[in-house]
Amino acid sequence: MNKQESDILNSLLIEPFVNQRILSEVSGHSLGVVNRSLKNLIKEGYIDEFIRPTELAKKELKEKAPKNAIILAAGFGMRMVPINTQSPKALMEVNSEPLIERVINQLHEVGVREIYVVVGFMKEQFEYLIDEYGVKLIVNEDYAKKNNLHSLALVANYLSNTYIIPCDIWCDKNPFRRHELYSWYMVSDLVDNESTVRVNRKIELVTNQQSGNQMVGIAYLIEEESKIVRERLKKFDNDKKYDNSFWEETLINKDKLIARARVVHVSDVVEINTYEQLRELDEESNHLKSDAINIIARDLNVGKNEIIDIEVLKKGMTNRSFLFSCKNTKYIMRIPGEGTDQLINRKEEAVIYQTIKNKNICDDIIYINPNNGYKITKFLENSRVCNPKSYDDLLACMKKLREFHNMKLKVEHKFDIFGQIEFYEMLRDGASSIYRDYQKTKVHVFELKQYIDRQEKDFCLTHIDAVPDNFLFTEDGDVRLIDWEYAGMQDPHVDIAMFCVYSLYDRNQVDNLIDIYFEGQCSKEIRIKIYCYIAVCGLLWSNWCEYKRSLGVEFGEYSLRQYRYAKDYYKIVIEELK
């Protein structure tokens, strides 16, 4: 039985046969396809001469009928800024109804009650669904570092005759049915330049296309294909190269998907990935009532509908930032990330920006809130960050850093590196470090404080986070130093150490940067002092990463390398002092 014949048979179960024209309208196929399919279905014994489903048809329909559904709702929904700072995207409301509740209700309408929801980000907000709808929640602890292939792998054993549904889909008409006869994957009739999957004449989904049908993401798998997907999920989930993969990877067999195409009209199914897409669908949605959007509208004196081209910026380890446009000018809105209220004093940060104002050091600050850390800056068009492997970039950045340090700016607060290490430890609430030899490493690093304290230091305002990504090369050739969240009074040579550890420099690269900053005139004592700072800063950021990890934010190799700096540069200092 091919796809068209399956659709015709399914339609006959929804509505008894009247005539070919009505059957054509119900099934969505042409009269010619309907007539050919009816002849074949009679020939194969699926319908009788009165166009009624036979016992053979009813048996197959029963075997392939939906048993359960899996909703994938674990991810951050990064592109949903600023909404995702307050709510997971599955709970966004359209016409006063959360997306996930609409999907669950549509599943209930066709008799599917066994529903598994894979959650991760803000998982607690989904708990009410257990009582309201009887769903089962499956927690993905690795939602921050793995894609939805891992989410589906967690529920692989439940795959049988199963609907697989992303949580950010809004369907005008119920996409689910009481009867299914084959595995399918839903695409729209919209041509999408980013899609590599296209429907061919046989209603198959072929891959590796330059532009294809927009992939909706809803799928239905019968047991035959579910078995294949189960096996692949278990294999792929144990392979690190699939950590960032979508579950659809398991459907690909050579140059096509193992599921047939189910094509829907682009207006019938909407994937909501951005604030603006939600606004287009329901401009009265409660989730459009964002503090960030209200601040932008008020401080730039514009209407909310004038805030357009909202785009997430993935750069940044502390915050979530997004780009937007108003009246032909681009801006960046910064929203503090998880746990930053513990890490950063926003009132002190506001003082820093007031201190460096009009000194041609940083980007243009339009708005900053000293209470919650929200910040708006003008976007520097055609700017780029420093390339830590480019000698010319390093010359320009170290020149800018020297100029800033030579201003000898003063503020009331300081950044105590050793004190901050203790503070970040405290944020673990008594939990031990993930590193087994942490206490030994800490003792060694704190021994370096004696050498640091003996050296002459010219305390002044220090950036603390003077890393390559915070040096912007502007279109006119200027260099700006941005993101002053950690700045305070400190030995300015700490900034050199910070640049090195963030760039993951080896010993030769560290010495090269020191020579550039000091223009070849660095004393041995100062060089060793900077080595000490590299060890101390490594332990500092290692603890910072441990705290962020407890909040579900992972930094992979960066975290491990910071801890290595603490250990390796302690040894380097000891060797140098000998």
426 shares its domain with 484: yes
Classify residue 283: in a domain, yes or no.
Answer: no
The residues, ordered by sequence, that sit 6+ positions from 33 with a Cβ below 8 Å of its Cβ are 4, 8, 24
SS3 letters for 67-120?
CEEEEEECCCCHHHCCHHHCCCHHHCEECCEEHHHHHHHHHHHCCCCEEEEEEE
Which residue(s) pair with 473 in the sheet? 384, 479
Alpha-carbon torsion, ordered 185, 191, 193, 199, to 10 deg: 40
356 shares its domain with 447: no
Classify residue 83: in a domain, yes or no.
Answer: yes
- What whole-number distance in Å separates Cα of residue 126 and Cα of residue 115? 13
- What whole-number distance in Å separates Cα of residue 475 and Cα of residue 189? 41
| Token representation of residue 409 | 């700016």
Q: What pLDDT, on a 0 to 100 scale, did the predictor assign at position 134?
A: 96
- What whole-number distance in Å separates Cα of residue 311 and Cα of residue 332? 9
The residues, ordered by sequence, that sit 6+ positions from 254 with a Cβ below 8 Å of its Cβ are none
End-of-domain residue from the set 379, 412, 441: 379
402 shares its domain with 465: yes
Classify residue 525: in a domain, yes or no.
Answer: yes
116 shares its domain with 71: yes
End-of-domain residue from the set 347, 379, 411: 379
313 shares its domain with 266: no
Q: What pLDDT, on a 0 to 100 scale, did the predictor assign at position 316?
A: 47
DSSP string, 293-307: HHHHHHHTT--GGG-
**How many domains does the structure of the chain reveal?**
4
Q: What pLDDT, on a 0 to 100 scale, did the predictor assign at position 339?
A: 56
The residue ranges of DSSP E strands in 120-236, in sequence order, are: 136-139, 162-166, 169-171, 184-192, 198-199, 205-206, 212-221
The CATH number of the domain holding residue 570 is 3.90.1200.10
φ, ψ for residue 474, nearest 5 deg:
-85, 170
569 shares its domain with 453: yes
Classify residue 31: in a domain, yes or no.
Answer: yes
- The pTM of this model reads 0.63
Classify residue 280: in a domain, yes or no.
Answer: no
- What whole-number distance in Å separates Cα of residue 26 and Cα of residue 12? 9
- What whole-number distance in Å separates Cα of residue 46 and Cα of residue 88? 45
Whole-Å CA distances, 337 to 181, 373, 406, 486, 552: 46, 10, 32, 14, 11
Q: What pLDDT, on a 0 to 100 scale, did the predictor assign at position 16?
A: 72
Cβ proximity of 88 and 126 under 8 Å: yes
Whole-Å CA distances, 258 to 133, 162, 499: 32, 15, 49
Walk along the chain (578 residues) in steps of 10 and give the mean pLDDT of each run: 75 72 74 83 83 84 94 76 69 88 97 96 92 96 89 96 94 92 91 86 85 90 96 94 93 92 87 66 60 83 85 60 87 74 82 92 87 86 93 97 97 95 89 93 96 93 95 91 94 97 96 97 96 97 86 77 96 94
Q: Domain containing 9: what range?
A: 3-63
111 shares its domain with 226: yes
- What whole-number distance in Å separates Cα of residue 83 and Cα of residue 289? 9
The CATH number of the domain holding residue 315 is 3.30.200.20
The residues, ordered by sequence, that sit 6+ positions from 393 with a Cβ below 8 Å of its Cβ are 386, 387, 468, 471, 473
171 shares its domain with 186: yes
The residues, ordered by sequence, that sit 6+ positions from 236 with a Cβ below 8 Å of its Cβ are 149, 153, 242, 245, 249, 250
Classify residue 281: in a domain, yes or no.
Answer: no
38 shares its domain with 150: no
Bond from prior residue into 388 cis (ω within 30 degrees of 0): no
Classify residue 471: in a domain, yes or no.
Answer: yes
- What whole-number distance in Å separates Cα of residue 400 and Cα of residue 392? 13
221 shares its domain with 124: yes
80 shares its domain with 182: yes
Pick the closest to residue 336 from 85, 99, 83 (CA basis).
85
Q: What pLDDT, on a 0 to 100 scale, did the predictor assign at position 52?
A: 84
526 shares its domain with 403: yes
| Token representation of residue 573 | 């200092």
- What whole-number distance in Å separates Cα of residue 151 and Cα of residue 139? 9
The CATH number of the domain holding residue 25 is 1.10.10
- Residue for token digits 């960066």? 558
Pick the closest to residue 290 from 90, 97, 81 (CA basis).
81
End-of-domain residue from the set 240, 271, 302: 271
